[in-house]
Amino acid sequence: MAFNPKTQFLITRAQTLLSAKTQLNSFWQNVAYNFYPQRAFFTRTSPFPYGRDFASNLTTSYPLLIARDLASSISTYLRPAGEQWFKISIANNKKEKILSNESRQFLEWATEQQSNFIYDRESGFQRAVDQGDYDYSVFGQCVISIEIDYKTKNLLHRCWLLRDVAWQEAANGQINFVVRQWKTNIRQAYAQFGDKLSPQTIKRLAEEGDCNITLYHIVMTNEDYYTSYSDTATKDRKIKLPFVSIYCQLEEEHEIECVGSPTMIYCIPRWQTVSGSQYAYSPAIVAALPDARLLQSITLSLLEAGEKAVNPPMIAHESAVRSDISLIANTISWIQEGYEGKADDAVKIMNLDRSGLQYGLQMQVDTRAQLTRAFYLDKLSLPVFDAAMTATEVRQRIQEWIRSASPLFSTLQSEYNSQMCKMQFDTLMHVRAFGAPETIPEELQGETVDFTFTSPLIEAKGADKGQKFIEMMGAVAQTIQLDPSVRFLPNATLALRDALDGQGIPAKWLNDEDEVEEMKANEQQAQQQQQFIQTLAQGGQAAEQIGKGAQAINQAGLE
């Protein structure tokens, strides 16, 4: 069955995007050779880079180590193991709109539910993000698919090779079209799609058994799907979900399925982009690639110099030596019997100038330092605080570290963590993992979901909020001696709530505003009642004293 005109148009569009990446794949191959040889098969026919020539172009492993350290730091700093590193919130939850305790507790429960789904053993989340972190560090982007597993009905995360994926941007700069070329085993394809595969493919499965086929997976926005090709038959827009997912086989020109999707399926965090290109780059690699090549040359020169120092070149008298000069232990170099000179003069070590060796070692140290800075490893260490530091000094140290680390962490949070968590949430909402829509608190219905994260940068900002609160209270305490009315200036309740939120205090540990106001009213009422009782008691005592005084006067008059 041949493709319909719309599908054929989309296939041509996808092939054009994949073909346009040829030079980019060559660049990524070069980068992988220097920093990530395990991924160095962007231009190779074999899917396995290992062999006799694996990493044979490298003379030092230092570039590989710093690339690995940055990739490991992404997970360590942004998704710390054993911690709840993300929290579901509401995008427009501003200060003037304080959520009820019921809503905050629901958001905390939803956060725990999402965390349980993504860290399920069969979700593949940890493996996918470990691979994605490495791709992100080295190539400036990664591709992680987030969907429901057709077998387990759980979330499924997979990281794909950048060589096989291409994408396109809309006018707003957001990705609206993704194509992935998937070379898979025919049995795996049949297990997922069954009889949706072409009859020719099903026949091959019966006849050949294990063989490979190539599928195309295209995901695009609903708007793009219904406007990219002039087709009056699809103007009714039967697919109502915001995205469209299409699987097809090129060899048989067969469309396997075309269904709606609640998300783009492919999470593609991009580090830094330049205008005119939908593909990102790693600023660490751009700065480090020249130094990595230089370091390999320096190391090779030092190795050669070291070999000459251990096995120095020799000068032999032409008529003196009978055999090749042997510098290996327990060997003999024979001298001609008729040689009239001294035996020591027959073979001599060539004098070499080794004064430049120390400069080579210093260049190696400097180049390694440059590579460390290029990969932001000097920015990842938190500032060290001294017990003798004042609060102002501590705050300045925190602010300085935030400014230096923000270029790395801010992009990672917005482009990576936030995008990934939002796609996970939307996918789980679609399958009602958080319950039926009517069970969600009314206050949250229709609100835009946002995420906040735990990281050293966020913790530093939270600590800065707490420090500001302490400084505010200190300033008020000092000024109140001059003007007692300044005690009415700070909104203590709001300031404390903001400071506690910055410290990551769970919402369920605190009473909501209505409960606090009710407690205040009850306390004031109790104080008023107590004061009234005291007033009555004082009044009774006064009456008793007046009565005693009148009685004493009467007695005095009678006397």
Decide if 539 is inside a domain.
yes
Q: Is 404 exposed, middle or buried (0-12, 13-18, 19+ CB in 10 A)?
A: middle
Question: Within 13 Å of residue 429, how many CA atoms lie on the same side as its CB?
Answer: 21
C-alpha distances in Å from residue 122, one per residue of 119, 164, 431: 8, 24, 17
Decide if 526 is inside a domain.
yes
Decide if 378 is inside a domain.
no
- Minimal CA–CA distance to 512: which of 90, 102, 88, 91? 102
Query: What residue has token string 């070590």?
Result: 349
CA–CA separation, 267 and 420 (whole Å) = 6
Could you tell me if 428 and 153 are in contact, meaning their C-beta atoms sit under 8 angstroms apart?
no
CA–CA separation, 209 and 4 (whole Å) = 29
User: In which region does residue 553 sit, left (phi positive, over 0), alpha (psi from -120 to 50) or beta (all else)?
Assistant: alpha
Helix 283-310, helix 125-139: angle, nearest 10: 80
Task: Give the mean pLDDT per block of 10 residues along the chain (559 residues).
Answer: 80 93 94 92 72 82 94 86 85 60 88 93 93 95 93 90 95 93 89 88 81 92 83 66 93 89 96 92 94 92 77 65 61 63 64 71 91 87 72 71 71 87 94 88 86 68 61 74 71 65 59 65 74 69 58 56
DSSP string for residues in 378-395: TTSSPPP--TT--HHHHH
Could you tell me if 351 and 44 are in contact, meaning their C-beta atoms sit under 8 angstroms apart?
no
φ/ψ of residue 522, rounded to 5: -65, -40
- Show the tokens assigned to 106: 């629901």
Decide if 552 is inside a domain.
yes
Could you tell me if 289 and 34 are in contact, meaning their C-beta atoms sit under 8 angstroms apart?
yes
CA–CA separation, 383 and 141 (whole Å) = 29
Instruction: Report which residue type is found at 285.
Output: I
Decide if 546 is inside a domain.
yes
- Residue 138's pLDDT is 96
Instruction: Report which residue type is found at 201.
Output: T
Chain centre to alpha carbon of residue 54:
29
Sign of CA dihedral 26, 32, 33, 34: positive
CA–CA separation, 72 and 77 (whole Å) = 9
- Show the tokens assigned to 424: 């996970």
- Residue 31's pLDDT is 95
φ/ψ of residue 174, rounded to 5: -90, 145
CA–CA separation, 272 and 281 (whole Å) = 6
Three-state SS sequence of 425-462: HHHHHHCCCCCCHHHCCCCCCCCCEEEEECCHHHHHHH
Decide if 533 is inside a domain.
yes
In which domain, by residue range, is 521 found?
513-559
CA–CA separation, 316 and 347 (whole Å) = 4
Radius of gyration of the chain (CA): 37
Decide if 557 is inside a domain.
yes
Could you tell me if 177 and 13 are in contact, meaning their C-beta atoms sit under 8 angstroms apart?
yes
Decide if 548 is inside a domain.
yes
Could you tell me if 160 and 167 are in contact, meaning their C-beta atoms sit under 8 angstroms apart?
no
- Residue 96's pLDDT is 45
Instruction: Report which residue type is found at 111.
Output: T
Could you give the 3-state DSSP secondary structure of residue 208?
helix
- Residue 522's pLDDT is 74
H-assigned helices in 272-388: 283-310, 343-346, 357-374
- Residue 488's pLDDT is 65
- Minimal CA–CA distance to 411: which of 56, 225, 195, 141? 141
Domain count, the chain: 1
